[in-house]
Every structure is written in C-alpha cells, then in structure tokens.
A and B are shown apart, each in its own frame.
Chain A
Amino acid sequence: MIISQIGNYSLIFGLILSFFLIIYLFLNFYGFIKINLNNIYSILFLQLFFVFVSFFGLVYSFVISDFSNSTVYNNSHTTKPLFYKISGTWGNHEGSMLLWLLVLTLFIFLFFIYSKKQPKNYRLTTLVFQEIIITGFFLFVLLTSNPFNHIFPIPIEGLGLNPILQDPALAIHPPILYLGYVGSSIIFSASLAALVSKNINIYWAQHIKKWIFLTWILLTFGILLGSIWAYYELGWGGFWFWDPVENVSLMPWFTLTALLHSISVLEKRSILKSWTIILSIATFSLSMSGTFLVRSGILNSVHTFANDPGRGVFILIFLFFLILISIIIFFFFQTDERTSTNKIYWMSKETSILINNWFMTFFLSVVLIGTTYPILLEVLTNEKISVGPPFYQNLLIPFLIPFLFFMAVGPNLKWFKSDYKKINFNKIFLLFFICFVMFFLVKKLDVKNLFVIILIISSLYLFTSSFIDLIFKRKNFSQNIAHFGFSVLILSIIFNGILSKEISANIKIGDEINFDGNLIKFKKIDVADKENYKSIIANFEIKDQKNKIILLKPEIRIYNQPNILTSEADIKSNLYEDKFIVFSILNREEIFNVRYQVKRFMIWIWISTFLIIFGGLIRLIKIK
C-alpha cells in the first residue's frame, strides 16, 4: 500500500524534474542563466533515483504479492515461483512501460558521463531532446498506464501471469529488447543535437559509434532471445513466423544495421552526413512505432494480447510529434555536405557500404509494407487480411543473392579508391569452384527452386571468402567474424528449410507411428503436481534404423491461475539436427495430438547469430 504511494509520487517527482530540466536548459540557450554542469549531473542522478525507486517499488510489490496494487493483482499470484513474480513486473504493459522509463533515464545519465570530451552545447542539446522523450513517457505512464493504481477492497488472490510468459528466456527478452529500443533514442537525440549545434564531424562519428554498436548488440540479442523462446515455447518449431509483432522488432534492426555501416563512412570520409541523420531518426521512429503497434492492439497477430486502444492513440500522437520535430529540425538545420574530398569512386569501400544501405532500405520497405498493408486495408475497406511468409520469402530471397556477393567483396575494397589491377583472382576461382561443387550437390539435395540454388552459391561464397579473411588477415577481425556468422546464418536457414521433416498424428497411449525409417512409440504418461501447475509428461521412444533408442518427454502444464494449458516441447539437440516433439490434449478424448519434427542444423541458427553479436562486441570493446 505505502510502497505504491511512494512509487507513484516518485514518478510525479521524476516528471517535475524533467520539466524543470527542460526549462533550465532553454533558459541557458537563450542566455538568461549560465548552467553549471554539476547541477545537471545532480538532477539527472536524482531523476534516475526516482524512477529507480518507483521501479523497485513495483518489483517489491510483486515479490510480497501486494494485491492492493491493480498491476500486481492482474498479473501475479501467491503460488507463482519467486523468479516469475519478479519477471512478472515487466511481463505486463504497465510494468514494461516503467522499465522503458528506467532504461531511458539510465541511458541519458550514462550518456552524460561518457560524453565529457564533446562540446558542451552539443551535450546540453542532446539532453533537451532526450528529456522531451522522457517527459512523454512519464506522461504516458502516469496518464494511461499507471502501474500503481489501487484496488479496494483488497483482493485475497491475484489473477496470475499468462503461463507462456513464465519462461526464463522471456524473463530477460523484454529488458534486452527495450535496452536496444531505448539505445536508439540516445542516437536519435544525439543526431538531432549534432545537427542543431553543427557538430557533425569525424569526432562526433567516433563518439556516437559506441552507442550505435551497443544498441545494435542489444537489439540483435533481444530479437534472438525472442526467436529462441518462440521456437521452444510456442510449439510450432519455427524460429521466425513473419508475424507483425516479430517484424516490428526487425524493422529498426535494418535501419540500425545500415547506420552501423554508414557511420564508418562518415568517420573515415566525412560524407553521407544527412543520410546518417535520416537513419538515426528512422531507427528511433521505427522502435517507437513498434511499441505503438504492439500496444495498440491494431495488429492482427498471433501474439496479440488483450489491450487498451487509448494507449495506442497516446503513443501515436507522441510519435507524430517527435517525427514532426525531427523533420523540421532536419530541414532547417541542413548540414553542409560539401567538403574538399566528397568524390565517390565506384571501386571503393564507401560505395559498397552505400550498396549495403540500399539493400537494407529495400528489406525494410518489404517488411514495412507487409506489416502495415493489412492495417491500411482494414481502415480503408474494412477487409481483414494477413500477409503470409511466402510474400517475404519471394521478395527477400532474390535480393539476398547480390547482397551476399557484395558482402563478400565489399570489405576487401579500400577507402576512397581501389585499384582494378589488385583484384584478387583467387576469389574468382573460388566462386567457380563453388558453382562446380553445387552442380553436383543440386541433384542430391533435390532443390527445385533456381533462386534457392543461387542463394546457396552466394552464401557459400561469402562463407568461404570471409573464412579465408578471418584466418589470413589480422585486420578487421570483428567485421570478418560478423560477416562469416551471417553467411552461416543464411546457410543454416536454407538447409533447415530444405532438409527438415515433420509428422503430426492423433494417437492413443501404446500406439506407434512410422516416420522416415524411425519408429515413434507413445509409451505412457506421468502426472505430477508442481508449485503452480499440474504437469502431464508423455514418454515417447524413438527408435532409428540402427535400433538406437532415444527418449523424449514433452509436457503439458495445466496452470492453476489463470487456468490454462501450455505445452512444453522436448528437444534433443546436436550439431546436425534437433529432434522436436510436442503434444496436446484434445477435448474429452483419449487421443493425443502429437507433432514430431526433425529440424536440421537448427542449433547453427542460434550459434551464427551469437557469432554476429560477438563480432559487434569485439568492435565495441575496440572503440573504447
């Protein structure tokens, strides 16, 4: 009770500090007062402290199951394990927005500490933009989704957390993803500030690069965690569904990846200034619209959670406000692109990075249109449609082919201008060799689609080329490992798609299924009572052609509060394949619905993404 009061007032104090800081900074810009930087540190620290108190107040309310708080009442239960009581804090809308706010204030505090070498005016301007965003989120939390609302009379028991959210990967997925989203807000504010204070130069690029890499690592890791969770928890055995909620996290990733590359051009050649700013603005706008789309309930998604449209409207208005400000600033403070050496040659690293950026923009527009078109159509014609995975595959695969080739060639070019005579002919022989090998592989693989064959060739080319660079070149280790990881990712996705097999059947205990030479036997079920759910474990025996037997034990959990079922897949992984089994109960029948999948090279999808992240991490460490 008292904790909620403290949390609530802390938020209000935090908001007041935001207003105060914005006014204080504007008074400084117009020359009325002179700012003491130490005061700024104190105010930022105080603001962080208030949000911190508020957030941990909420965590505490969850831990002690204080049901006088409506957020706790709606999303917790006394029998829930402590770990999920804590992660339940951000497993709901109100708490997750509070987490956004916490990360926002934490990041601006860190930014201010780590930007001491930058011009004072630039730092203060960044602060203004960031405080405007923070104010918006304070207002959003306080007005539309206050996590500290009271209930009276106090309920004895809570409603419980949606069981599919009671999972370790999902406990850390939202915070990491939010760190990525919020990191993009720092890049956004810093870019606008650099525009206003005419500070876009090589030194600024070096300074903002750290933040871009940090944000990119967090966003990539956040997306990966969500994907892994979807793979084992949702029970359909895929890692990407092209679902709107997944797509909205991928869209800022495209622009951020483009930014990650173009910032090097700005750093080395002092060109592409406006483009860099556009990418920063786009990344943050896409992160914000992601939140808006997920929270508003507009999306017709398999991930849809029940929600309140009023909140969506608030974010939408706020988003338009921010985009409007950034466009106005962008046009009125246009940077001077003319420098003494602004010429771009065809055979140069900057051209290849520009090509990367164009492809990223194309990928972005495909995903953007595929995600928003159904919404537009519903608003305009009231027709409800969805866009399936084939749309994305048909459009992305043909364009991935040249993209992968450029990815292999680009890093070996020099800044400014490369010499035609120094082309490495070994690499061309390598390409012929791969085509030659593929010629024989095609018959064995039984691939019908020509595009897929060329895609395999191009990703094998990137694979071998970046592998050779990785071993023989000491330079650009981080980049080579990330590109190598990407080629492994594409290869494992392709082979996973081509070689995976599955069967589903409705069977009784004791029944057997014959599948691809393996015998799957449904032996028995065990029932057990756990802390907050009843567990039904099925025992399946899978005997392969060599009479080797493995046991798989998928589980169904019947949660007490809320009273729903989840099925937990059982997965046996090795480097070659994942054996994935999941079962569900049919109403009032003694038959069980069983789905068995053999997913080839599944683990390599995760490993390769970790390699990509690892590449980013190494670069981040090297910058500092």
Chain B
Amino acid sequence: MVGKKVKLRIIFLSTFLILLILSLFLILKSLEDEIVYFITPTEIKDLTELDKKKIRVGGMVKEGSIKANSENINFIITDFKNEITVSFTGAIPNLFAEGKGVVAEGVLRDRNYLISKKILAKHDENYIPPEVKEALENK
C-alpha cells in the first residue's frame, strides 16, 4: 500500500502536470490564432487563395510612388521582381521614405492591393529586410 505522504505527493505532482499541460495548450492555441505571416510581393502573387487574415508585407518603397491625400497615403512596395500597392491610413514612422526598406501590416484586398493601418519603423538607416537583401543579391 502507498503511504499517505506518497499519495499526497502523487496528487500534487499530477495536478501540477495537468496545470502545466493545460497552460501550454492554451498558449499554443492562442499562438495559432494570433500569428502574423511575413511575406514578400512575389509570394503574394503566388498565393493560391486570399483570406482575411492580417499579414506583413516587406520590401522597398518604390521611387516616386508615394502619393498622399488628406486621408490616405498610397505607395508601392517592391522586391524588384513584383510589386504591390499599399493604401495606408495612420501615422508614418521617421524612416519611411522612397528607396528605403519598409514593412506594412494589413489585409489584402486582392493580389495587387494591401489595405494597411500600420507601418513598422526600423531604427537603423542601414537596415534592409533580409528578404529584400536576398532579392537584391539575386538580381
């Protein structure tokens, strides 16, 4: 027979394990719902289906493509193979400029058009998104 002490320890350990598994499950489950994929304009062209999920698109802001009116800023993100038009509402970061790297977060309307409310800033003027770097080197 198991003693009282051992029994208590078993109960304690098993509750601990159950709690551990439960919390891990919870974390991974909500991870699944909340991840945002990072893709390039070329990858968007190759997408088989479009869904309403938020994505991040990275690349360079095409020279001469920034156009603004009172509500929106429109510009083109290019990875030098393909490009996508972004319609943006919100505040732009300091390092947002033509010919510089950019990451825009938003929802695709179609394969050529992204509706975005967030542009991510990079702190370093020498920084180029890795994917864009690859694309540049392959050119």
A564 near B56: Cβ-Cβ < 8 Å = no
Contact of B34 among A235, A391, A566 (CB under 8 A): A391
A587 near B23: Cβ-Cβ < 8 Å: no
A567 in contact (CB, < 8 A): yes
B77-116 contacts to A (CB < 8 Å): 89-98
User: Is the CB–CB distance between A385 and B123 below 8 Å?
Assistant: no
Q: B interface, how many residues as a size bin? A: 35 or more
- When chains A and B are docked, how far (Å) is the Cα of A374 from the Cα of B34? 12
Write the chain B residue with the least CB distance to A300.
B38
Contact string against A for B residues 23-67, beta-carbon threshold 8 Å, 1 for contact and 0 otherwise: 110111011011111110000000000000010100000000011
Q: Does B127 contact A306, Cβ atoms closer than 8 Å? A: yes
Q: Would you call B96 and A584 a contact (CB within 8 A)?
A: yes
* The residue from A300, A305, A591 contacting B123, defined by CB atoms under 8 A apart: A305
A568's nearest neighbour on chain B, judged by CB, is B94
Bound Cα distance A362, B91 (Å):
35
Q: In the assembled complex, how far is the CB of residue A398 from the closest CB belonging to chain B, in whole angstroms?
A: 9
Q: Taking A305-B123, A365-B23 as contacts, is the C-beta distance between A387 and B94 under 8 angstroms?
A: no
B94 touches A584 (CB 8 A): yes
Whether A565 lies near B66 (C-beta < 8 A) is no
A395 to B34, CA, bound (A): 11
Whether A370 pairs with B31 at a CB distance below 8 angstroms is: yes
Hey, which chain A residues are within 8 Å of B90, CB to CB?
504, 595
Q: Which of A235-257 contact B (CB under 8 A)?
A: 235-236
Considering residues A369, A562, A567, A586, which has the most beta carbons from chain B within 10 angstroms of its beta carbon?
A586
Given the complex, which residues of B lie within 8 Å of A506, measured CB to CB? 68-73
A235 to B95, CA, bound (A): 11
Known: A305-B127, A564-B95, A584-B94. A365 touches B37 (CB 8 A): no
Q: Which single residue of chain A is at the shortest CB-CB distance from B126?
A: A306
CA distance A505 to B93 in the complex (A): 14
B76 smallest CB distance to A (angstroms): 12
Answer whether residue B121 sits at the interface, using C-beta atoms and an 8 A cutoff: yes
In the complex the two chains form, what is the Cα distance from A301 to B95 in whole Å? 15
Is the beta-carbon distance between A304 and B27 smaller than 8 angstroms? no
Check: B137 CB closer than 8 A to any chain A CB. Answer: no
Chain B residue numbers with a CB within 8 Å of A304 are 122-124, 127
Check A340 for interface membership: any CB of B closer than 8 A.
no
A302 within 8 Å of B (CB atoms): yes
Complex Cα spacing A365 to B31, Å:
12
Closest B residue to A582 by CB, please name it. B91
Q: Are B37 and A387 in contact (CB under 8 A)?
A: no
Binary interface encoding of chain A residues 379-397 relative to chain B, with 1 for a CB under 8 A from any of its CBs, else 0: 0000111111011001100
Contact call B121/A234, Cβ cutoff below 8 A: yes
Complex Cα distance, B92 from A565, in Å, reads 12
Instruction: Report the Cα distance A234→B120, complex, angstroms.
Output: 11
Q: What separation, in Å, do the CA atoms of A388 and B30 have in the docked complex?
A: 11
Given known contacts A365-B24, A369-B27, A591-B68, A386 and B56 CB-to-CB distance under 8 angstroms? yes
A564-B94, A595-B91 known; A306+B30 contact, CB < 8 A: no
Q: Is the CB of B73 within 8 A of A593?
A: yes
A383–B36 CA distance with the chains assembled, in angstroms: 11
User: When A162-B125, A587-B98 are in contact, do A504 and B91 touch as well, CB less than 8 Å?
Assistant: yes
A373 contacts B by Cβ under 8 Å: yes
Task: Provide the bound-state CA to CA distance between A598 and B51, in Å.
Answer: 34
Closest to B16 in A: A358
Q: What is the CB-to-nearest-CB distance from B82 to chain A, in angstroms, rounded to a whole number?
A: 17
Report the nearest B residue to A241, measured CB to CB: B120
Q: Which of A558-582 contact B (CB under 8 A)?
A: 562, 564-567, 582
Inside 8 A of A394's CB, which chain B residues have their CB?
Answer: 30, 34
**Distance (whole angstroms) from the CB of B139 to the closest CB of chain A:** 20
Residue pair A565, B94 in contact (C-beta under 8 Å): yes
Find out whether the CB atom of B35 lies under 8 angstroms from the CB atom of A387: yes
Residues in A neighbouring B31, C-beta threshold 8 A: 369-370, 373, 387, 391
- 7 pairs, A vs B, C-beta closer than 8 Å: A304-B124, A365-B24, A374-B35, A386-B36, A394-B34, A564-B125, A587-B97
Give the 5 A-B residue pairs with the shortest CB-CB distance, closest first: A595-B91, A384-B38, A391-B34, A385-B35, A504-B91
